[in-house]
Each structure stands twice: as C-alpha cells, then as structure tokens.
Amino acid sequence: MKLTKEQISQIIGIVISAVIALLAVFGYDVGVVQPRFVALQAQIAAQIAPMGAQAVLGNTYEALNVTKQFKSFGTADMSKATVTDLTGTTITATTLISTAVGFDTTGNGTAAAPAYTFASDPDTGIYRVGANDIGVATNGTLAFDVSATAATSALPLVLPVGSAAAPAGTFTGDTDTGIYRVGANDIGISAGGTLRFDVSATAATLALPLVLPVGSAAAPAGTFTGDTDTGIYRVGANNIGVATNGVLAFDVSATAVTFALPAIFSSESITPADGGTLTITANFVTLTPAGALGTALAACTSGQTAVVYNSIAANVVITDTGNGVLAGNQTLGQYDALPLACFGLKWVQVGPVSAN
C-alpha cells in the first residue's frame, strides 16, 4: 500500500500519541516519556522529508530504525520497559524500574504481599508495618521489623565465628571488644582483643577480678534467686560478712573471725571392738561399748579435732600406740571424755581425761 509522506507523518503522530497514553495507563511518568517520543517523531519527519510523494509503509519501520529508538527506552514492542540507560532520566514514585521488580506505590503492603517485592517471589520484600515502622517479609511472614524505637528479628541472628581480636558482634570505634564463639558450646566476651569472660556448657570463667557492689546484710552483694537477703557483702575495710535472713551471721576481718550464731559441730556414735581401732570422723564421738575393752586410734586428717566420750558403765582403754600420741594409755569410765587434735596423721591428746 502506497502512502504519501504526509499520511505517514500523520499515522506516526497518531501511533506515538496512543503509545504515550498507553504508557501513562501503565504507570509511566508521561513527563519523562513524552519528550523522548516527540524527539522520535521529529527525527522520523526529518528522515521522510527527502522522500518522494509516496513511500512504502511496510519499509518505513525498518528504514527509519524505529527499533533502535524504542530500545533506548525499553524493548522494541514496548511489552516490557526495562530501563537500560538512566542518563538524564528522572525516576519518580510511579516509574516502573524493571519488570523483575514490583512496586506498589498505592498502598502499604503486607507481609503476604509486600509493597516492594520481586516478580518471581511476590511474598518476599519490604512493606509498611505501621507508623514509623518498616518490615521485611520472607515467604509471607514478617522476618525483620525496624521501627523508631527498635530493630526486631523474628529469626535467629547468625553471626560469623569471630575471635578475641575481631569479635563477631562488636562496636563502631571499638572493633576488638565484643562477643564471639570460642568453640563448641562456648561463648567468649573480649575486651581490648583479649578474652575476658568465657561461658561454656560446663563453666563460666572470668579472666579478670569480679568487682561487686558493697551490699549490706539486708541486701548482700552476692546473693541467690528466691533468697535475696542471704549472701556475702562488704562490712567495711578488709572485712567480709555473711548474712542470713538479712542479719550478719559470720564476720571475717583482717584480725578476727567472729560468729554471731552458735557454731554447730558434727557428732557420731561408735561401738568399738575389743582390740580394734577407732576411726573418728566427727567432732564429738560417743562410745557405746558392749563391755570393757581396749582399742587403738586409726589415722586422722591433719586439722581434725575431736572429743571422745564414753556413755556406757564399762571402761574403755585407748592405747598410747600407733596413731595415738597420748599421755600413756587413757581409761574412760562412764561419762568420761578425752580431748584430741590431729597433727599429721596422728591423734594427739590435748587435755586430761575428764573424771566424772
């Protein structure tokens, strides 16, 4: 079909106007698109001006290289508008950057359908959770929330291993101080590039002194869950106190150890055998012999003290042999007592037998 160049110019003008209107419908910024097509129309007019009275419409598209002009904005058929050159282009809130990325500028979006998402993954992206609150959704679920007051992760935060010198979690301006993984089931806190506090599955280990507040008898510095008025505190200079029920019970100073409560020692009852040995493990020992007998003393642990008491009306003779260092054989009648103290492995008599 033969058309005059005037007819061709009119048809091209109509087509370009229709294309611009169609692009506006699909959300393109007309202010950006229209100048490009106006320039294109002028270029086509300049190219067909030298033509004769008639031209072949079927050849006009190729001869004028319109495809190249469209590609400067998108694809030749305009079915996709992927911007390949943003030079001199103004991007507005309604400009579709690429068909691979979706932008919903008309609403806030949701976790299931974020406002900013991806063509192949429409339930993953960014949306507005609420006032001053942005959410990142994955698989249709809020995974990370950033508000004006907090950044909250709904998923575990997986950090690199790190080291004492370069912790995995650290601080701007102090990158050798922070937290890192020492080993399996073992977290470390470093300061100045050196491990200071180590928490493993079996122990919490400090590499520095633990500095506690002073505390008081009613509120000790070191106390216990469910029993906060029992524990240890600083009574004064060089003076540590142990409080129970909010009252000082035990005081250790540089000059004395003071009990505010009675000291309760251990006790036991032994039935000795004739010719055997007495193994003493408590501070107060009550003998319950079946009859008169003689016995020796077994080895002891240095620092032990004991008082041996006979409760039965039958004499017990404790021999001055082996592990006993006594003032001769000691006979304990009923109600008599023998004071002993252990030095090395031997029981030493430290006072006379009480004669009752």
User: Checking DSSP bridges between strand 239-244 and strand 337-343, what pairing results, if any?
Assistant: unpaired
Task: Indicate if the pLDDT at residue 79 is higher than 60.
Answer: no
For residue 54, what pLDDT is reported?
45
Tell which wins on pLDDT, 106 or 286: 286
Long-range contacts of 69-76 (CB under 8 A, 24+ apart): 69/40, 69/43, 72/36, 73/33, 73/36
Does 253 map to a domain? Answer: yes
**Span 174-191, pLDDT tens digits:** 999 999 999 999 999 999
* Count of beta carbons in the 10 Å neighbourhood of residue 255: 8
Residues 185 and 240 in one domain: no
Contacts of 3 (CB under 8 A, 6+ apart): 11, 54, 55, 57
Q: How far apart are CA 33 and CA 23, in angstroms?
A: 8
Lowest-pLDDT range, 22-26, 76-80, 198-202?
Answer: 76-80
For residue 26, what pLDDT is reported?
62
For residue 50, what pLDDT is reported?
60
Tell which wins on pLDDT, 155 or 42: 155
| Beta partners for residue 43, in sequence order | none
Does 99 map to a domain? Answer: no
pLDDT band (50, 70, 90) for residue 25: low
**Span 190-213, pLDDT tens digits:** 999 999 999 999 999 999 999 999
Average pLDDT over residues 23-33: 64
Does 217 map to a domain? Answer: no
User: Checking DSSP bridges between strand 257-259 and strand 267-270, what pairing results, if any?
Assistant: unpaired
Number of domains the chain is built from:
5
Is the entire prediction scored with pTM above 0.75? no
Lowest-pLDDT range, 26-35, 45-54, 235-244?
Answer: 45-54
Do the beta carbons of residue 234 and residue 241 sit within 8 Å?
yes
Residues 227 and 189 in one domain: no
Task: Indicate if the pLDDT at residue 142 is higher than 50.
Answer: yes
Alpha-carbon distances, residue 284 vs 264, 268, 304, 339 (angstroms)? 11, 6, 11, 10
Q: What is the dihedral of CA 290, 293, 298, 301, to 10 degrees?
A: 70
Task: Indicate if the pLDDT at residue 271 is higher than 90.
Answer: yes
Does 63 map to a domain? Answer: yes
Does 86 map to a domain? Answer: no
| Pair of tokens at residue 100 | 């691979």
Tell me the CA end-to-end span of the chain in Å, nearest whole number.
145
Residues 341 and 303 in one domain: yes
Largest CA distance in the chain: 150
Does 129 map to a domain? Answer: yes
pLDDT band (50, 70, 90) for residue 322: very high
DSSP structural state of residue 211:
-
Q: How far apart are CA 167 and CA 153, in angstroms?
A: 21
For residue 53, what pLDDT is reported?
46
* Count of beta carbons in the 10 Å neighbourhood of residue 46: 10
DSSP collapsed to 3 states, 135-194: EEEECCEEEEEEECCCEEECCCCCCCCCCCCCCCEEECCEEEEEEEEEECCEEEEEECCE
Q: How far apart are CA 349 and CA 327, in angstroms?
A: 7
Tell which wins on pLDDT, 267 or 65: 267
Lowest-pLDDT range, 14-28, 160-174, 332-346?
Answer: 14-28
| Pair of tokens at residue 105 | 């500028």
Residues 138 and 201 in one domain: no
For residue 263, what pLDDT is reported?
77
Alpha-carbon distances, residue 319 vs 167, 183, 311, 334, 349 (angstroms)? 68, 60, 19, 17, 12
Residues 120 and 182 in one domain: no
Residues 284 and 255 in one domain: no
pLDDT band (50, 70, 90) for residue 14: confident
Does 344 map to a domain? Answer: yes
Task: Indicate if the pLDDT at residue 147 is higher than 80.
Answer: yes
Q: Which domain covers residue 22, as residue numbers?
A: 2-71
For residue 12, what pLDDT is reported?
73
Does 160 map to a domain? Answer: no
How confident is the prediction for the chain on average, in pLDDT?
83
Residues 273 and 345 in one domain: yes
Do the beta carbons of residue 339 and residue 332 sit within 8 Å?
no
Alpha-carbon distances, residue 253 vs 222, 226, 235, 242, 268 (angstroms)? 18, 28, 9, 12, 32
Residues 244 and 297 in one domain: no
pLDDT band (50, 70, 90) for residue 258: very high
